[in-house]
Each structure stands twice: as C-alpha cells, then as structure tokens.
Structure 1
Amino acid sequence: MNEKLQLGKNVYKNYVYTLLQNIDLTRGIWMIYLASKGMSLTQLGLLETIFHITSFTMEVPTGAVADIFGRKTSRIVGRIMSLISVIILLLANSFLWFSISFIFTALSYNLESGAGDALIYDSLKEIGEEETYMKVSGRKELFFQVAGVISFFVGGYLATKSYNIAFLLTILIAVITIGQSFTFKEPNVGRVKSVHGEENIFINQLKTSLKIILSKPKIGFLIIFTQILMAFCTCIFYYLQNYLKGDGYSEAIIGVIYAVCSLASALVSTQVHAIEKKIKEKGILLLTPLFTVGCIWGIALSKYHYVFFVLLMITEGIIYVSISDYINKMIPSENRATILSFASMIFSFFMITLFPIVGLLGDKFSLSIAFKFLGSVGIVFIVINSYILLKREDNKRHKKTTEKVTKSEI
C-alpha cells in the first residue's frame, strides 16, 4: 500500500482508537467506587497525587521514548500499562494496591500523552496537510467526548447494579484497543537518530527539547497557561462525583450529567477552528480563563451547579483543541513528543499541588468550600494572565511604532 495513503489512514484510525481508548466505564465512578472501599477524600487526594508524582517524573522520559523508538511503540506499551492498572484496581482492597494501580495508570498516560498527538501531527506533516490539524484535533475531541457519553451513561447505570461488571467490560475494551493500536503506520518525520552514541541519546534529546522551549518563551507560556486551566477543570471533574453523591444524586444520574457534558463538548469541539477564526488567539487566551473561573464559582455557589459544569467542560475542550494547535506549529517534529510531554509534566506539577488540597478542604470543611478555594486561586491566575497578555500586546505596539519611526527617519 502507498505510504502516503497509509499515513493518511492514521487520522481515521486515530478516531477509532480515541473512541475505544476512552470508553472507560469506570471513568465517572472510580472515586465513588474507591470511597465505597473505605477511601476518604484525603486518601483519594493522595492517590491522585501519587498518580501525578509518577506522571511528573516520567512524562519527559516517556516523551523521549516516543521520539526515539517511535510513537506507535509508545502507544502500544501505554495501552498494556492501562490494562494492568484496571485489573489491579478491580482486584485490590488496600491503599497500597490502589497506589500501584495509579502508578500504572500514570505510566499509560505518560506513554500516550506526547506520542499520540505527535503521531497524528507528523503523519499530516509528512503528507503536507499539517494545516488541517486543528480540524482533525476537533474531530478527535468529538470521538473522545462520544466515548465519554458512552462511559458515563453505561458506567453510571452499571454502577447501580455492580461495579465489577463495569470493570470487566472496561478490561475487555482495553484488550481490543491494544490490538487496534498495532494498525498505525509510523511516520518517518520526527524520528530521532543517535549522533553522540546510544548512551547519550536520551540526555541529548532532553537537552535539545529544553533549549527549544527556552529559546521560544511563547511555547513555555502556552504550556503553563493550558495546564493551569486543565488542572482546575480536572479537580472539579473528579471531586464533583462525590459532591453530587453527597447531594443525593445516584450513580446513574451522575452518569447522565457527565454524559451531557461530553455530548455538549463534542458538539462544540468540531467548531473550535471556526470559533478561533472569529476571536483569534488573543480572544482564546483572554476569555477562556474568565469562563473557566466563572464556571467554578457557579458550581460552588449555584444550586444549578451541573449547568456550570457542562459549560466548564465545553471551555476545556476549546482550550485543548486550539492551544494544542498553536504549540504544535511552533515545535520541530524531532522534539514534538518530548516537548508535549513537558506540558503534561507541568500539568502533573499543578495537580500534585491542587488536588490533595481540594480533598483535604473537602474532608475538613466541605467540597463547596474547596471549590471556592479553587475559584479564588483562579481569580489570581486571571489577573496575572491578563497582565502578561496586555503587557505583551503593549510591547508589540511599541515595537511597531519604533520601527515605523526608524523607517521614516531613514
């Protein structure tokens, strides 16, 4: 088969892969499941911290693995790690084994996080269609959210009958996903070759990637901007399960609420490229933090918290699709997976800090207080982010004015 055709098929195979990978029937119930096994909110916060400490330390090395040994290889190993984690979570009954499960889950995310996007972007780049990436990413987000709809509806319903059935079906789907991950074609663009010897290839890859980030401060800014907002959204996503349960909602109703979020996000994600054309990069960077933090306060203060949760998840989808495109356009293929893994490492850093604090506040006071704390941190971020962006715009205008004056003098 023609290599260009195979690379083009990667895009469509990735839609199927995204759907299968994210049909996780435990996704909307795992915190309730672990609480039913005796875990407190503080312990749940610690488990998530263990996940992110693992992710923080292993993100960049696994990104280098994808750049050096191939995105496809990294993806396959990641799916195997995910399967192991679900099996352990089903069979475990102690904090220690739950922790081990979370370590494997983190490694599965690490091996996929930079590799997956790099595989698709570089496939498009090799066939000269990288400008379509935002549209492709938006469609991928659609499949991700459809998987969420299935996961939350079915998982929520099964949780009212038996947690074990939800876990066993998730294991079966994971096995199928491993098989499907073997069907991708590895792009030639971006494969790193050893120059200084095999023993130095990892160190050289990390150094080169770090130099690229430091030489282009905008990459670093976009990474930090995105990951802070994603950390806010993720904290709300997980703790809201227990918040709703405490409010008297059943697992089935919680599943419906989360499914509606996924459906709404799916519909909007395919139109992110059109939204971005209207409000541009500046609009995305200024408005999405305001919407994110506004929704967090809506969840904390309003009895219609589920409405604000839906809006929050829509905003998260817009952030992911648009800024992922901005970052990918700025980095070379040879360092793509490694630099994208830097982004995930920053996300883990913020989660290590925020997630256990939210859990502790939830235990000591209430989750409503914890959400208000998160909203307060968000206001500080809005002020800092707005100052940086407006300062940057002011510097640009000043530079243009200076250049015009210089030219007129000449």
Structure 2
Amino acid sequence: MTQPNDSSKLSRKLTRAQIGRKNIAVLYTYSGISHLWFDGGLWVVYFQHKGLSLFQVGLLEAVLHLVAVASDVPIGIFADKIGWKRSLGLSTVAGIIYTVLCLSSASIWLFVAAFAARGLQITLTNGSDAAIAYESTVWAGMKDKYLAISGRLFAIGLISMGIAEAVGGSLANWSWSSIYVAFTIANVLSFIAVLFIREPWEARIGANETRLSALTITVEAVRFARRSKAFAKWIVFSTILSGFTATFSFYGQSLLLHAGWSLIGLGVLTGAENGIGAIVSWMTHRIVRRFSEPATMTASGILASIGLLAFAWIPGMLSGAGYLLGSAADNLSYPLIDQGLNRIVPSAQRATLLSAHSTGFSLFMIAGFPLFGAVAQKIGLVHTAYLVSIVGAVCILGVTWWWRRE
C-alpha cells in the first residue's frame, strides 16, 4: 500500500524539479528581454527633443523615484498575496503604458503619468523576479547553485542593457519614435515570457491551505525585519554601496568630460562598464568558491571605496579606471546580496521583504542625488567629487566592517 504513494510522491518531486528548471530557463529569457531599455542612454535627450527643459526632465526622474519609494513595500505585499508571476505580468503592462505615453504624448502631465507607470513597472518587478528565481531553484533541488544563477540573471540583464543602449543610439539617428516602438515590442515579448513561468506558490501551498492575508503578510514581515540583524545588515550594506556608486555613475559623465573624455570615449567606457559588470556577476560564484563569501563581500567594499577615490582624485583619462573599478565592485556584490537576503527571508513574505532592498536604494537616491547636485552648484562639480568620494569611502568601509562583525 505504501509503495504507490511513495512512487507518486517521487513522481511529483521529479515533476516539480523539471518545472523549477524550466522556470529558471524562462527567467534567463525574461531577464534578457525585460532589460532591453532602448531609451536607457537617450531618454534625457529624447524629452528635450519633445520640448521639455532640463528642470522638467529632472522632475520626471523624481516622479519615478517617488512612485518607487511609495509603492515598493505595498506592491511587495501585493505580490506575496496574489502571486509573483502576476506581479511580473503587471510590470510588463505598466511598461507598455510607459512606452505608449512616451510615443503619443506632448503634455508634461502625460509624461508625468508615463514616468509614474515606469516607476510601477520597476517596482512590480523588484522582489518578485528574485522570489521566483530563488523558489524555483529550491523547487528544482538547485538551492546550492542559486548564487551562480543569480549572477547569470544579473549578467544577462547588464548585457541586454548594453546592447539596447547601442541599438537605441542607432535607432535615434533614424527616428526618435523608433526607440519607444522597440521598447514597446520588448515589453510585449516580456509579457509573453512571463506566461511560461509556473508560479512557485504551488510548491508551498497544499490543496487545503490558503494564502496569508495582506495584513498577516505585513505583520509577519515587520516582525521579521525588526528582529533580524542579518536582514538589516544586508539592506544597509546594499544601500550604501550601490547608492554612492550609482550617484558617481550618474554624475560621472560630467566628471569624465571635465577630465578630457570625448563623447565617443564615454560611449566606449559605458559599454565596457556593462561588459565588465556582466563578467564579474557571472563569475561571482567562482570567486566565492575560491575566496569565501565574507572575503568577497569585504573585497567589494574595499574595491568600491578605492574606485570612488580614484575616480574623483586621479586626473585625466585614468579617472575612467576608477569609474570601472567602482562599478565592478558593485556588480560583484549584487548576487551575494541577493542570495544573502533570499536565504534568510520567509517564503510567505519574500517579495515584501526583498522590496526593502530597492526601497533603501530609492531613498538614498532621493536624498543623495539632489544633495550632490546642490553642493556642486555651490563649490563646483570637481570639489564636490573630492568631498563625496571621501565621505562615500568612509561610509562604505564602515558598513563593510559592520557587516563583517557577525
């Protein structure tokens, strides 16, 4: 009597393992398509072409981050409640709304709506993609390989972004509208890819069980976040490291031009940044295997600090080396942070708690990005870079030491 039951259980396990592996394969495809941001390097110029001032363009970026901060955790709760696959599907719909409004609008208010949709697109993806990836590796019996899978997903995204920026530049020479037509097609293809994902909830919920209520998800997530020191350390480390490197990356174009780089040189440098980032992310699991996780995380903090200082203080063309070093260090840490968070957060609140990862970054950018610009207006861009590189290096090294304490 027990043999058929055991056989049936084994059959289900094998089926789940196969579906888990299929999910991972689909996620590789989804990551590649969903990061085809054809307007990535040109959206500021595009909206200037549409008649907006730089101040208005800055307001659009602010809208995106404000929407992200306001909706990150609520959407994480929403995703944990209705399913991560549905959240990814809705993110592609929001992306289509963004590109269609960018194509058809001529009003600043419709552009504001477009960037609100873009913020929702990013937020609906945050947490849900990593949640599906992690649970699928567990489902497939590949939990010990998650670091490698996370690194590959991140690397594929970086490669796609680099390709899209290059293609977007070519499309702009032909037609500005073609950039957002291509972006719309990418969003539609992303939606189709999501349809092939199997919701990992089915691996955790039995026939007689129901999903937790939104209130229960919220209460349990807050309770976990308050008592988990490890969770706080991963979030703070990620926020500080990514926040400072991203701020320098955004203002880096002006700094590099001041250092003597040409526009063509900047294009080559950003292409190299994506390429190196993809290689580093792809190799993270091998680096960890060779040197250990704590050593790799410590190295990422030290290298990021050196990169910031070199970028700001080394004169001339060599400043580009600091730019690349800081970016590579950030890319090295990302798969480790992703794995570190996924290992400790409960499955039922996974998307909710992972949303804190992106919320911390958005809060840093809302405060730090304009502060950098305001200081630059007072004392100049170069002197601001000197100052912020020192502050950033101290903060990154400090949070790295704090992370290593336990």
* Fold shared per TM-score above 0.5: yes
Map 1:235-384 → 2, pairs under 5 A? 235-241=247-253, 249-250=262-263, 253-301=265-313, 302-304=315-317, 305-362=319-376, 366-384=380-398
Task: Specify the code of the residue in structure 1 equivalent to 2:32.
Answer: L
Change (3 A) 1:221 1:77: same
Kept in 1: contact 2:233–2:403 (CA 8 A): no
Counterpart Cα distance in 1 of 2:295 and 2:49: 43
Task: Specify the code of the residue in structure 2 equivalent to 1:17.
Answer: Y
Q: Does 1:227 align with 2:239?
A: yes
- The structure 2 residue matched to 1:169, chosen from 157, 182, 185, is 182
Change (3 A) 1:334 1:84: same
Task: Specify the code of the residue in structure 1 equivalent to 2:362.
Answer: S
Kept in 1: contact 2:93–2:191 (CA 8 A): yes
Per-residue CA deviation, residues 17-53 of structure 1 (Å, 9 max, x unaligned), is 1110011111122234345556566554443332222
- The structure 2 residue matched to 1:11, chosen from 15, 24, 31, is 24
SS of the residue corresponding to residue 340 of structure 2 reads helix
Change (3 A) 1:243 1:307: same
Task: Specify the code of the residue in structure 2 equivalent to 1:353.
Answer: A
Kept in 2: contact 1:148–1:259 (CA 8 A): no
Map 1:7-406 → 2, pairs under 5 A? 7-37=20-50, 43-93=56-106, 95-187=108-200, 188-189=202-203, 193-194=210-211, 201-241=213-253, 249-250=262-263, 253-301=265-313, 302-304=315-317, 305-362=319-376, 366-389=380-403, 392=405
- Give how far 1:257 is off: 2.4
Counterpart Cα distance in 1 of 2:379 and 2:167: 32
Counterpart Cα distance in 2 of 1:82 and 1:358: 30
Kept in 2: contact 1:28–1:241 (CA 8 A): no
Kept in 2: contact 1:75–1:181 (CA 8 A): yes
Task: Specify the code of the residue in structure 2 equivalent to 1:139.
Answer: R
Per-residue CA deviation, residues 303-343 of structure 1 (Å, 9 max, x unaligned), is 23333222222212111111111111112211111110122
Change (3 A) 1:4 1:282: closer
Kept in 2: contact 1:42–1:356 (CA 8 A): no
Task: Specify the code of the residue in structure 2 equivalent to 1:332.
Answer: P
Task: Specify the code of the residue in structure 1 equivalent to 2:101.
Answer: I
Any stretches of 5+ residues in structure 1 without a counterpart? Answer: 196-200, 394-410
State which drifts further: 150-159 or 218-227.
150-159
- Give how far 1:261 is off: 1.2
Kept in 2: contact 1:156–1:255 (CA 8 A): no
Change (3 A) 1:60 1:237: same
TM-score (normalizing by structure 2): 0.86
Aligned twin of 2:3:
none
Counterpart Cα distance in 2 of 1:31 and 1:241: 13
Counterpart Cα distance in 2 of 1:82 and 1:235: 25
Any stretches of 5+ residues in structure 2 without a counterpart? Answer: 1-13
- Give how far 1:387 is off: 5.0
Kept in 1: contact 2:300–2:329 (CA 8 A): yes
- Give how far 1:389 is off: 4.4
Change (3 A) 1:254 1:271: same
Per-residue CA deviation, residues 242-292 of structure 1 (Å, 9 max, x unaligned), is 555776734x65443222211111122121012123333332343322322
- Give how far 1:194 is off: 4.5
SS of the residue corresponding to residue 127 of structure 2 reads helix
TM-score (normalizing by structure 1): 0.85
Counterpart Cα distance in 1 of 2:195 and 2:56: 37
- Give how far 1:110 is off: 0.9
Counterpart Cα distance in 1 of 2:189 and 2:328: 29
Kept in 1: contact 2:16–2:139 (CA 8 A): no
Task: Specify the code of the residue in structure 2 equivalent to 1:193.
Answer: T
Task: Specify the code of the residue in structure 1 equivalent to 2:398.
Answer: I
Kept in 2: contact 1:156–1:256 (CA 8 A): no
Aligned twin of 1:405:
none
State which drifts further: 286-295 or 111-120.
286-295
Kept in 2: contact 1:49–1:351 (CA 8 A): no
- Give how far 1:231 is off: 1.8
Kept in 2: contact 1:293–1:378 (CA 8 A): yes
Task: Specify the code of the residue in structure 2 equivalent to 1:223.
Answer: I
Aligned residues: 386
Change (3 A) 1:128 1:288: same
State which drifts further: 231-240 or 144-153.
231-240
Change (3 A) 1:2 1:278: closer
Kept in 2: contact 1:74–1:111 (CA 8 A): yes
**Percent identity between the two aligned chains:** 25
Counterpart Cα distance in 2 of 1:35 and 1:381: 36
Counterpart Cα distance in 1 of 2:129 and 2:44: 27
- Give how far 1:372 is off: 3.4
Per-residue CA deviation, residues 106-133 of structure 1 (Å, 9 max, x unaligned), is 1111111110010111111123221110
- Give how far 1:166 is off: 2.0
Task: Specify the code of the residue in structure 1 equivalent to 2:24.
Answer: V
Aligned twin of 2:4:
none
Task: Specify the code of the residue in structure 2 equivalent to 1:59.
Answer: D
Kept in 2: contact 1:62–1:110 (CA 8 A): yes
- Give how far 1:60 is off: 0.9
State which drifts further: 366-375 or 216-225.
366-375
